[in-house]
Amino acid sequence: PYEDTLMQRNREETRSAYPESPYAYTASSHAIPKVTLSQPCMEGFYSKNLLGTFHSDLRCLRYYYKDVSFPMNLKIGFETLKVKDEEKTKQEKLNDILKWIKAKEQLNNKTFNFVCFRGLLTTLMVTPYENREGWKISAVKYKDTIYLWQEDTEEKKKRLQNLTLKDKEMCYYGRKFEQYTSTGDVDMLPTTDHPVDENEEFCCVMSSKIGNFRLLYGAEVDCITANKKVTAAVLEKEKTLKDFVELKTSQVIKNIKQERNFKRFKLLKWWAQSFLVGIPKIICGWRNHDGIVSSVEEFATSAIPGKGKDLWSGNACINFLHDILHFIKAELDNLGDLEGGTIEWSPRRPVMFKKLPRDTKSSVLPHWFIE
């Protein structure tokens, strides 16, 4: 009985709920901005090559190629896809951005409240409108900065285990579209006859402010529009991603219901993802069920909230992102260095913070970063 009481007390001590439902943010009062996200600034970049090796240079930057011909077959080469080693990615957690931080000495005099990847911020932002997938985040505090890492929820692990061949093929379509519409060498046409490799990526490290919180986040970006080779000096001088484009694919819309779903779910996610890094243009390849693209359409990121009007509010997303970061910070402010916890949410449930048990150090940061 004594142990039971003790355990219960520990449980009580280590859990707290965010007081509002994320869905409360869909109320009209949240359609007006409480805070803003400042213009994202590019602090630097890095490349991951075919083997997933980190390089602090532009070797994996790709250039947008617009003169594609139709129909474009996205099914080709599915059997030769080089899949990303998801286990390695999960183990490495924030390592890439941490490596970048270590290498970037000028950054030492800037402090950030949060360090994470853009995908995590996108996930948080769209929560008020999400009714299918929950999320789970590990947070750790180190020298007044909070490091955030998105974990797989149990539901997501199950979903990934049960992907059918057709599901995997649909994921491949997006990758193949990138290969048709971009090239690694600005003076060469895209090469579409060799395997798609998911390990190769080019990432930008962005800084921004939401309310009073300073954020630093890594983001994989698809390609840049340029008619000559871009150098590191040119990119460093520019500081924004105004010349970058985001590539997407989507199934051709045939009826009003599909159109509503496209605006309600897909455009919201597309907008949040590109808005967070200041990419002004999204190129959508309209494909059929079998991966045949018949046309391409450009969406201006800034025009997307207008298309989703009546279905979602970008301001509500920004307000929620700010408030949930505030909640995480308030919880971690009570903790010591390298202590932390998890923040978890499932649709129609409250957001819960669970502190790591006392004397347990978080595994989000590797030794070499702390030392």
Binding site for ligand A3P (CB under 6 A): 171, 174-175, 222, 248-249
Mask of contacts with Mg ion, 225-264, x by CB under 5 A?
----------------------x-----------------
Question: Closest residue to ligand A3P, Cβ-based?
Answer: 174
Counting residues that bind Mg ion (by CB under 5 A) gives: 3
Among Mg ion, ligand A3P, none, the one that 263 touches (CB under a kind-dependent 5 to 8 A) is none
Peptide bond into 71 cis (omega under 30): yes
Among ligand A3P, Mg ion, none, the one that 171 touches (CB under a kind-dependent 5 to 8 A) is ligand A3P
CB of 236 to ligand A3P, least distance (A): 23
Among Mg ion, ligand A3P, none, the one that 183 touches (CB under a kind-dependent 5 to 8 A) is none
CB of 14 to ligand A3P, least distance (A): 31
Among ligand A3P, Mg ion, none, the one that 175 touches (CB under a kind-dependent 5 to 8 A) is ligand A3P
CB of 197 to ligand A3P, least distance (A): 12
**Residue placing its CB nearer to ligand A3P in the complex, 165 or 233:** 165
**Residue placing its CB nearer to ligand A3P in the complex, 156 or 242:** 156
**Residue placing its CB nearer to ligand A3P in the complex, 248 or 322:** 248
**Residue placing its CB nearer to ligand A3P in the complex, 16 or 250:** 250
Label residue 322 exposed, middle or buried (CB < 10 Å: 0-12, 13-18, 19+).
buried
**Residue placing its CB nearer to ligand A3P in the complex, 30 or 287:** 287
CB of 151 to ligand A3P, least distance (A): 14
Give the residue from 364, 368, 371, 367 showing the smallest Cα distance to 148.
364
Buried b (16+ CB within 10 A) or exposed e, 200-226: bbbbbbbbbbbbebbbbbbbebbbbbe
CB of 264 to ligand A3P, least distance (A): 16
**Residue placing its CB nearer to Mg ion in the complex, 97 or 316:** 97
Token pair in block for residue 44 = 């630097």
Contact stretch for Mg ion (CB under 5 A) within 60-68, 212-220, 258-266, 283-291: 212-220
**Residue placing its CB nearer to Mg ion in the complex, 14 or 250:** 250
**Residues 146 and 332: beta-carbon distance below 8 Å:** yes
Using CB under 5 A as the binding rule, whether residue 222 contacts Mg ion is answered as yes
Residues in contact with Mg ion by the rule CB under 5 A: 220, 222, 247
